[in-house]
Structure 1
Amino acid sequence: MYKIFLLEKLPFLSDYLGSLKEDNFSIITFSETDKALQSIEELSPQLIVLGVDVKESDLINFLQKIREKYSLLLPVLAVLNFYSSINFEQLRNLGVDFIVKPFTLEEFKQKIQSLLGIKQQCFVGEKEDELINKLRPYISREVKREMQNIFKKILEVL
């Protein structure tokens, strides 16, 4: 059984991850970074999933402590909003993988399986135009160009 720590304040991701319980996943949810840090040693998770609602300063502090103690051995997946103001470069430098909402349950599941090494499949990221089309209802014409630049950076990380 794979143990996944979920750090979030609102129950959005726990609903998504709840559907993975049938696939041999154990989900342990935390709403505070301190409690999650204390439990890592005892419970030995294989993956940490970070919700969009965790304050950025808490998130960065949490990630720095994880990397100091566990290096890159413990994979971390951050779930970010499309309009997130979080510093992607800083996350990347801390060895964090991320997925941007909106996404399907299948995309989320594939990302988790990929990080856990469950399926040895090559994940081919969506092209910029495909991502733009997927998110078109949320994008105004004024920001389309800016979003294309952001997606280029995201795709470089993926």
Structure 2
Amino acid sequence: MKILLLEDDTVLADILVDYLEEEYEVLHTYSMKKALCLSEENTFDLYIFDINVPDGDGISLLKNLRNFNDETPTIFITAFHDTKYLKSAFESGANDFIKKPFDLEELTQRIENIKRHFGLSFLVNITKDLEFDTQNHIVTSKTSLEHLSSKESACLHYLYKNRHRVVSVEEMLQNLWEYDEMPSGDAVRTLIKELRKYVGKEHILNIRGEGYRFE
């Protein structure tokens, strides 16, 4: 699991990085602009953003990311206790909110909740009968075991994590390939065709003119 941490408090940032790196891969920055660059250059499983940083704020950053179809789950951390910030955070697309000071175990539980909700665990039950090993790229049923390519695995995982909505072909191109390696939409359609062989057509629906949705 790969986390982008935006936190300008140097002491807290060091504590969080040391703590999180025991379990996860963490990239940290003090700058909103740098965080935006990192989000464009990498694929993250979770964002942890401070609201108030020297060159901007985490809420504006998340609004920007959401406008570009980045649905990466996000936890805000902040010293603000005013409910208007809580409201703004969730309106920007946040998934959780934690107030300073907080216990590290509380952060762990919030991350675990995000993992359960968005299918970020190592093993994911994507349907009643199918288990998806996201690290080894394997889909297992009671009667078969299918090895996926890394790109097929990434596509299936992305669709599953965003199963509450329709995902467009353009969005998958932006999130599954580097900008200078981006193929045509046919590459996505080919991936979907292969994945349907493994998980069934009934679980990856084609929403005409819009994209695909995992059911």
Structure 1 length normalisation: TM-score? 0.63
Which secondary structure state, in structure 2, belongs to the residue aligned with residue 87 of structure 1?
Answer: helix
Aligned to 1:128: none
Query: Which is bigger in relative contact order (C-alpha 8 A, separation at least 6)?
Result: 1
Q: Which moved more, 1:80-89 or 1:90-99?
A: 80-89
In structure 2, do the counterparts of structure 1 residues 68 and 91 end up closer, same or farther at CA, with 3 Å as the change threshold? same
Give per-residue Cα distances to partners, 1:105-145, cap 9 Å, x unaligned.
111111112213349xxxxxxxxxxxxxxxxxxxxxxxxxx
Which secondary structure state, in structure 1, belongs to the residue aligned with residue 22 of structure 2?
Answer: helix
The structure with more radius of gyration: 2
Q: After the TM superposition, which residues 7-156 of structure 1 pair with which residues of structure 2 at under 5 Å, given as runs?
A: 7-11=6-10, 12-23=12-23, 25-51=24-50, 53-54=52-53, 58-71=57-70, 73-81=71-79, 83=81, 87-96=85-94, 97-117=96-116, 118=121
- Tell me the distance in 1 between the aligned counterparts of 2:55 and 2:34: 17
Give per-residue Cα distances to partners, 1:47-84, cap 9 Å, x unaligned.
1111254259532321111110135x211111122645
Assess if the C-alpha contact under 8 Å between 2:51 and 2:58 holds in 1. Answer: no
Deviation at 1:15, TM superposition (A): 0.8
- Tell me the distance in 1 between the aligned counterparts of 2:101 and 2:115: 22
In structure 2, do the counterparts of structure 1 residues 110 and 100 end up closer, same or farther at CA, with 3 Å as the change threshold? same
In structure 2, do the counterparts of structure 1 residues 114 and 17 end up closer, same or farther at CA, with 3 Å as the change threshold? farther
Assess if the C-alpha contact under 8 Å between 1:9 and 1:51 holds in 2. Answer: yes
Count how many residue pairs are aligned between Structure 1 and Structure 2.
117
Identify, as 1 or 2, the structure richer in helix: 1
Assess if the C-alpha contact under 8 Å between 1:7 and 1:31 holds in 2. Answer: yes
- Tell me the distance in 1 between the aligned counterparts of 2:28 and 2:87: 26
Deviation at 1:94, TM superposition (A): 1.4
Structure 1 gap segments, 5+ residues each: 120-158
- Tell me the distance in 2 between the aligned counterparts of 1:84 and 1:6: 22
Which secondary structure state, in structure 2, belongs to the residue aligned with residue 98 of structure 1?
Answer: strand
Deviation at 1:18, TM superposition (A): 1.6
Assess if the C-alpha contact under 8 Å between 1:56 and 1:86 holds in 2. Answer: no
